[in-house]
Amino acid sequence: VMKIVIVGGVGGGMSAAARARRLDESAEIVVLDRGEHVSYASCGLPYHVGGEIPDADDLLVQTPERLRAALNLDVRTRHDVVGLDNAARTLTVRTDDGESTVTYDALVLSPGARAVRPPIDGLDSPRVRTLRTVADATALRTRVDDGARRAVVLGGGFIGLEAAEALARRGLDVTVVELADHVLPPLEHETAALVTDELVRLGVTVRAGVAAAAVEPGTDTDVVVLADGTRAPADLVVLSTGVRPDTEVFARAGIETDRGAIVVDDHGRTSAEGVWAVGDATVSTDAVTGVRRPVALAGPANRAGRLVADDVLRPGRARPVPSTLGTAVVRVGDLTAATTGANRESLTAAGIVFHTLHLHSGHHVGWFPGSEPVHLVVHFRADDGLLLGAQAVGRAGVDKRIDVLATALRAGMGAADLIDLDLAYSPQYGAAKDPVNLAGMAASNVLDGTLRIWHADELDEVRRDALVLDVRTRDEFAGGHVPGSLNVPHTELRDRLDEVRDAADGRPVRVLCGSGVRSHIAHRVLAQAGYDSASLSGGMLTLRAAL
Ligand code: FAD
């Protein structure tokens, strides 16, 4: 009988255990977790704090008893693995009753990650909490029920914003502090700007581009002191400044790690014979840039858990664990923000030459009531058009577009291939040219030179060296425009080309409109009339968000 021991019984670990049982009825399968619960919905924790999931028991997807009954798993909670001797195939396990030894034939490690504790004084104040476990969520909720009024969330990443949203929902006065220059650092700043606006609309104070320097514990309330000297009183502080792999025990036992993350091959095998690892604790390779780093997301962890069980029990026949795209989505108020693949920063760091497009098409046709813009950013390789990454934010239809784009990325499609995706359409759901199709059309135009674009971050040089031609209506222009720009509505452009020629006076013409649609038309008029012309990607909507 093969004895499979799994360390960590939540995301990846429990997936491995369940799959192992389905493949092998005879194996002995033991799951060890130091926590009180296994198989709980960590992704649901913020919504227990916020009240949408009132009963914490609803977060417990499985219990040891049910796992025993359904899958004959031997699940042991409050079992902390404190030592590993792979030569002897034994683990040292600490429980309330002391230490004992557990033997194994195959070992799967899914220990996850723990919260990073930045070097800030005062983090040991009882008002400071992380949000990792059911106990954390319950503690935060109790604090709110007991009358906490002001909260500071340290870290404006996905989990930090979920916590901030939850606390704002409960009526607290919330401040988010983010060291990077915008919240949701994996998102482009022009995408994240819309999320910041939504946080502000929810009453959340956003302090980006500044570090928290200290937490000063007080009697009635703590005070979070920022590096710029500002002080934010806090009845509770949520520490959400990122995670790092929880792997010290295994690294000490000689399992190879890279900056703390367990190194695995494409079947999840570690450097130690008979030991596999999955999830937040492992190194994974970015599918676009090839960068190797841990990715703390539930989907990759759960799927890798299943694949590793295959490799344990069906060696040579298992599908490999794929590289990750980092696809992620978050709700903030009425907005959804999502990303897949690489962003501008990671592409630049990898030395990849790429184009970026911004689109703001409706999530369904404009003429059916309720159309909401999907603010989409798409990156693709300059030489061959390979799709590299995408982000979207909006009130509706965002998750669908990002999932379609994640599928296209996984399939290795070119951006222009998005034209050919045969997506579902009726007026309530999309458009005959879906935003994803439109992104493909625009990309194809960029790649073949039909569309030349310029970007919001080039505004200073453009204003210095070119004529900025604003082709919106007079009313839109009057409502705010780039200083020094010439307004010729796109419907009048063909008759007023002389005016443009005079104003340009030999300089290039850089066109803009509201979202990039009319400026594309104008660009085509100008280009065909022999002008050095380009159209602003995403128009004023992107320009305003980017500034
Ligand atoms: P985990 O699920 O963290 O499980 C690791 C387990 O191992 C823990 O129970 C730990 O106690 C145990 N353990 C560690 N070391 C030992 C040891 N030495 N001995 C015994 N037990 C040990 N991801 C998404 O994709 N989408 C989301 O919306 C999302 N929301 C999240 C919200 C919150 C608040 C949190 C905390 C995470 C969220 N995640 C989300 C991330 C997701 O939960 C993780 O990526 C996923 O759970 C990772 O699975 P894992 O098996 O690697 O680790």
What are the tens digits of pLDDT across the range 20-48?
999 999 999 999 999 999 999 999 999 99
How much is the average pLDDT of 437-460? 98
Query: What pLDDT score was predicted for residue 439?
Result: 98
Q: Which residue CA neighbors atom 1 of ligand 1 most closely?
A: 112
Instruction: State mean pLDDT over 138-144.
Output: 96
Per residue, what are the HEC states of 302-326?
HHHHHHHHHHHHCCCCCCCCCCECC
pLDDT tens profile 375-401: 999 999 999 999 999 999 999 999 999
Q: For residue 276, what are the β-bridge partners? A: 108, 269
Ligand 1 centre to CA of 134 (Å) is 11
> Is residue 215 within 8 Å of 222, Cβ to Cβ?
yes
C-alpha distances (whole Å) from 191 to each of 177, 202, 288, 535, 546 are: 18, 18, 20, 19, 8
Is the minimum distance from the CB of 326 to ligand 1 under 6 angstroms? Answer: no
The minimum-distance atom of ligand 1 relative to the CA of 137 is: 34
Q: Is 155 in the pocket of ligand 1 (CB under 6 A)?
A: no
Q: Which atom of ligand 1 is nearest to the CA of 79?
A: 20
Which residue among 19, 34, 307 has the greatest number of ligand 1 atoms within 8 angstroms of its CB, and so is best to mutate? Answer: 34
Helix 517-528 × helix 539-546 angle, to 10°: 110
pLDDT in tens, 272-308: 999 999 999 999 999 999 999 999 999 999 999 999 9
Domains of the chain by range and CATH?
3-43+55-113+244-313 (3.50.50.60), 128-241 (3.50.50.60), 334-448 (3.50.50.60), 453-546 (3.40.250.10)
The predicted pLDDT at position 299 comes to: 97
pLDDT of residue 376: 98
Measured over the CA atoms of residue 449, residue 455, residue 461 and residue 467, the dihedral's sign is positive
Nearest CA to ligand 1 atom 53: 112
Average pLDDT, the chain: 97
Element (H, E) at 49: helix 45-50
**515: three-class secondary structure by DSSP:** coil
Question: Which ligand 1 atom is nearest residue 93's CA?
Answer: 19
Q: Which atom of ligand 1 is nearest to the CA of 280?
A: 52
Work out the average pLDDT over 418-429: 98
Split at pLDDT 50, 70, 90, the class of 258 is: very high
Per-residue model confidence (pLDDT) at position 398: 98
**Position in ligand 1 atom list of the atom nearest CA 281:** 52
Q: Pick from 43, 47, 107, 243 the residue to mutate for probing ligand 1's pocket: most ligand atoms within 8 Å of its CB.
A: 43
Residue 324 has pLDDT above 90, yes or no: yes
Place of tokens 């989907």: 299
Q: How far is the CA of 271 from the centre of ligand 1 (A)?
A: 22
Distance 324 CA to ligand 1 centre (A): 17
**How far away, in angstroms, is 307 Cα from ligand 1 center?**
18
Kindly state if the Cβ of 298 falls inside 6 Å of ligand 1.
Answer: yes
Q: Does residue 268's CB lie within 6 angstroms of at least one atom of ligand 1?
A: no
What is the pLDDT averaged over residues 405-414? 98
As given in the structure block, the two tokens for residue 89 are 């195939």
User: Whose CA is closest to 14, among 36, 34, 30, 35?
Assistant: 30
CB atoms within 10 A of CB 171: 11
Nearest C-alpha neighbor of 322 from the set 413, 390, 406? 406
Tell how far the Cα of 226 is from the centroid of ligand 1, in angstroms.
29
297 lines ligand 1 (CB under 6 A): yes
Take atom 49 of ligand 1 and give the residue whose Cα is closest.
11
> Which residue, among 437, 453, 435, has the nearest Cα to 524 in the 3D structure?
453
Distance (Å) of CA 226 to CA 118, 121, 207, 299: 13, 12, 9, 35
Strand pairing category for 467-470 and 486-487: parallel
Beta strands of 369-476 (E only): which ranges? 374-381, 387-394, 453-454, 467-470
In degrees and rounded to multiples of 5, residue 177 shows phi and psi of -110, 125
Query: Is any ligand 1 atom within 6 A of the Cβ of residue 8?
Result: yes
Closest CA to 364 of 374, 355, 356: 374
Residue nearest (by alpha carbon) to ligand 1 atom 45: 297
| 249 in contact with ligand 1, CB cutoff 6 A | yes
Q: Which residues contact 541 (CB under 8 A, 6 or more apart)?
A: 358, 360, 373, 375, 514, 515
pLDDT reported for residue 491: 98
Mean pLDDT of 339-361: 98
CA distance 446 to 442: 6
Task: Give the closest residue (by CA) to ligand 1 atom 15.
Answer: 111
Q: Is 173 in the pocket of ligand 1 (CB under 6 A)?
A: no
- Rounded CA separation 545/547 (Å): 6
pLDDT bracket for residue 260 (50, 70, 90): very high
Nearest atom in ligand 1 to 14's CA: 51
Q: Residue 412 C-alpha to ligand 1 middle, in angstroms?
A: 29
Rg (C-alpha) for the chain, rounded Å, is 27
Q: Is 32 in the pocket of ligand 1 (CB under 6 A)?
A: yes
From CA 55, how far away is CA 9, in angstroms rounded?
A: 21
- For ligand 1, the distance from its centroid to the CA atom of residue 350, given in whole angstroms, is 29
Ligand 1: atom nearest CA of 38 is 9
- Compute, in angstroms, the gap from residue 33 CA to the centroid of ligand 1: 11
Reply yes or no on whether the pLDDT at 373 is more than 90.
Answer: yes
Question: Would the pLDDT of 547 be above 90?
Answer: no
Helix (H) / strand (E) containing 91: strand 90-95
Question: What contacts 488, CB < 8 A, 6 or more positions away?
Answer: 469, 470, 471, 496, 499, 500
**Measured between alpha carbons, how far is 123 from 450 in angstroms, rounded to an integer?**
56
CA distances from 179 to 122, 162, 295 (A): 18, 17, 20
